Amino acid sequence: MKIIDLRSDTITLPTEEMRQAMYEAEVGDDVFGEDPTVNRLEELAAQMTGKEAALFTPSGTMSNLIAILTHTRLGDEILMGSEAHMFWYEVGGAAALGGVVMRTLPNDQDGRIDSGAVEATIRPKNIHAPQTTLLCLENTHNRCGGAVLTPDYTSAIAGLAHRHGLSVHLDGARIFNAAVALDVPVSELANATDTVCFCVSKGLSAPVGSLLCGPREFVEKARKWRKMVGGGMRQAGVIAAAGMVALQKMVSRLAEDHATARRLAYGLSQIPGIIINPEKVQTNIVMFESPSGTLASELTQRIDTHGVGLLPRGGQRIRAVTHRMVGAADIDEALNRIEFVVKVLG
């Protein structure tokens, strides 16, 4: 039985072209700034995001952490959505290592934070309170079903933050999915933010790595933080080479993942008991709910025994993510297996 793994797009394997590029990569010591392949990847990332410079890191979690460490000082307050990946899945690193207060504001179903709520939450300078210095956004939004933030929304909310003296960081782990969904350049999605990071290890299929992009002076400070938290790499061109292929060859094909996600969503909507609005699926993340009375953890465990990997999100919520390793036929087979399990439980 073929395993159809829809837990995450992080399970994508490098393409043959990536493997060949890794084998042939020209390398040097990146901590000394002497790895030519890493340097080329950073230049390309900066160019594509419309920023002055970029920093190659091992993971999106590290990129977000370094961004916060660079933007803030000990005791500052940062604002983010209540469903932010940084708040839920990054081990509280901003608080534990950055010494900042993470204050959350409600995300709507489309991953947005209300501008009025942001403005009302920014603290005036006061000896009794931490200073609010950073607003963090997320595009696409993981826990909001891969929802996309538009350039207009990002520009408006970032403009508000800037008027109050805040910097803006964009967790763009899957920002290329957003760009493909909206048919706009990534630079347009990141233009209004001070910094942005993205992963090459998700839908873009590289084996490892993230890029943190922003002003040149910011990136130089971030480079020192990267060294401090253990992210300084040596002959990292071996993995940066795969990132180059990811950015040059793998972006446009993300539309295929969006199509299979919609196929999955509409198929799930036909299974009695499954709760989903397929019209909400914008990119490659599909959020749905298990039938009433069945916990997501129970259903996903049962489905897993039939060779389909899904991720429970608490309560009845379940996440599925499409990617290069699954095609339309795999989606149809996954739907058959899911429907069988749901009927048995029912």
**Per-residue pLDDT tens listing for the chain (346 residues):** 899 999 999 999 999 999 999 999 999 999 999 999 999 999 999 999 999 999 999 999 999 999 999 999 999 999 999 999 999 999 999 999 999 999 999 999 999 999 999 999 999 989 999 999 999 999 999 999 999 999 999 999 999 999 999 999 999 999 999 999 999 999 999 999 999 999 999 999 999 999 999 999 999 999 999 999 999 999 999 999 999 999 999 999 999 999 999 999 999 999 999 999 999 999 999 999 999 989 999 999 999 999 999 999 999 999 999 999 999 999 999 999 999 999 988 7
DSSP-derived secondary structure letter, 107: B
**Closest to 166 (Cα-Cα) out of 137, 144, 138:** 137
Q: Where in the chain do CATH 3.90.1150.10 domains reside?
A: 253-345
**Token couple for 102:** 């993470």
Q: Where in the chain do CATH 3.40.640.10 domains reside?
A: 12-249
Distance CA 228, CA 251 (A): 32
Residue 74: burial class (beta carbons within 10 Å; 0-12, 13-18, 19+)? exposed
Q: 12-249 has which CATH code?
A: 3.40.640.10
**Closest to 167 (Cα-Cα) out of 90, 95, 100, 85:** 100
The architecture of the domain spanning 253-345 is Alpha-Beta Complex (3.90)
- Whether the CB-CB separation of 284 and 306 falls below 8 Å is answered with no
Distance CA 175, CA 138 (A): 9
